[in-house]
Structure 1
């Protein structure tokens, strides 16, 4: 990783960061009312480009291991669910339905799934098979992960890493010093695969996720059964990728409350099919 050198004065850096920092509203609130401004030090385009490059590397590695989309029926199932959820993203962002969405299944025992910036989704076969997920529960996972992309949580986390000197070079990113592409890709990978999301980000993704599922015609209450299955697999504790989330009971209650709030959306969607 490249870090700021003594060639850049701290005062100049502070001024540059103040100018470069943007306060944005990445999504509308939706029926669940997620409404929070976010501070960003890097552009959405840069994060999306780095995410796409990282995604292609993940797919290439899985292809080399013969772990990419090995089960055609499973892949078709996951993509069919995604096709019903992605139009629902318009409730939060008008641009999101036109993203270059991509959905792939990786053969792995891990209980994992993620969605990178711009709509690059990966589902791990172990999540589906070990938890014996229903379509409604797959939609709950997918809605949650899509919500992270809609809210640009990766961009926000990379921005925080830049501001605290933990990620890519602030000098390179903001002042044009050096080559930062590989640093940015590495930071995107770190926040996607290694570091758990904050409690705030997880709560936002939970709430937006149940609304996306409901709008897609999937029972939002499945988010509660999904969490119970995950907790059972982890001996009552969440998996590592969700380890910063509030306790099982508080999360279960929050999911149940917000699932109930979006039930009219689910009922309307079901009636229209």
Structure 2
């Protein structure tokens, strides 16, 4: 049985694509960009059907304004991004492959200005750009295959493949569990995200204030958004070290920014 498991896993790995992350990590990607886009679209539609959508036109316009400035500086060839504001006290946001961004109204109580909101949106979009979603779903697929071959099929515990993929996409709140991004992935998203916000004309120094606010939110545990992230102190220290690099990007972008979102 062990030999069979090994053979099947090797066959899967032989057919997967390899990639390098923004920091040079080797990534194992089992799914094509088209497959990831489809997963993202299906998951996003499911969330829109199951969760309350905000009807606050002013808040919706504000969130879309910040998101649109972030997505406007992405590499050429990106899809048109759909942005939805969910009515929930969750202090959270997410981005999915295929061009989908979700923000919860609870986040707006902690991200107190456009620059702080841009910090979170930039971070979440960076996860998609860096293929972190594909890494997570690929890991889930390989783990699922191994479990099934070992007679511990996922459906025994009531977890479907669809739920597993949604959890891997960062939507664990929908299915009761989550497959968290690793520390390296989170750090990569921080690096890419703060550069994105600076290029979009948002003040990167506010990223430090945002994570300080996050550290205070929700008591010692912090909000759900931080549950799998690096320590507050480490993240803030890393962002402080990045300021000399990203501030010139922010300053250079100021002439291109015509309207404030606030």
**TM-score tier (shorter):** 0.7 to 0.9
TM-score, structure 1 normalization: 0.80
Report what 2:164 is aligned to: 187
Q: CA separation in 1, counterparts of 2:236 and 2:243?
A: 10
Report what 1:231 is aligned to: 215
Unaligned runs of 5+ in 2: 150-158, 173-177, 258-262
Deviations along 1:26-83, one digit per CA (max 9) or x if unpaired, are 6xx4xxxx33331112222212101101100111223xxxx21311110101111111
Report what 1:140 is aligned to: 119
Among candidates 43, 47, 70, match of residue 32 of structure 2: 43
5 Å-filtered alignment, 1:255-270, equals 255-270=239-254
Displacement of 1:183 after TM fit? 4.9
Give the 3 Å change call, closer, same or farther, for CA 108–83 of structure 1 in structure 2.
same
> CA contact under 8 A between 2:92 and 2:224: conserved in structure 1?
no
Q: CA separation in 2, counterparts of 1:77 and 1:137?
A: 13
Secondary structure class of the residue paired with 1:54: helix
Displacement of 1:243 after TM fit? 2.1
Secondary structure class of the residue paired with 1:121: strand
TM-score, structure 2 normalization: 0.83
Q: CA separation in 2, counterparts of 1:40 and 1:150?
A: 13
Displacement of 1:246 after TM fit? 2.4
Q: CA separation in 2, counterparts of 1:71 and 1:162?
A: 39
Matched, 1:111 2:100: no
Q: CA separation in 1, counterparts of 2:131 and 2:146?
A: 17
> CA contact under 8 A between 2:90 and 2:224: conserved in structure 1?
no
Q: CA separation in 2, counterparts of 1:222 and 1:156?
A: 29
Report what 1:88 is aligned to: 73
Report what 1:179 is aligned to: none
Report what 1:220 is aligned to: 204
> CA contact under 8 A between 2:140 and 2:165: conserved in structure 1?
no
Report what 2:260 is aligned to: none
5 Å-filtered alignment, 1:140-219, equals 140-165=119-144, 183-191=160-168, 192-194=170-172, 195=178, 196-219=180-203
RMSD of the TM alignment (CA)?
Answer: 2.4
Report what 2:152 is aligned to: none
> CA contact under 8 A between 1:169 and 1:183: conserved in structure 2?
no
Unaligned runs of 5+ in 1: 1-5, 171-181
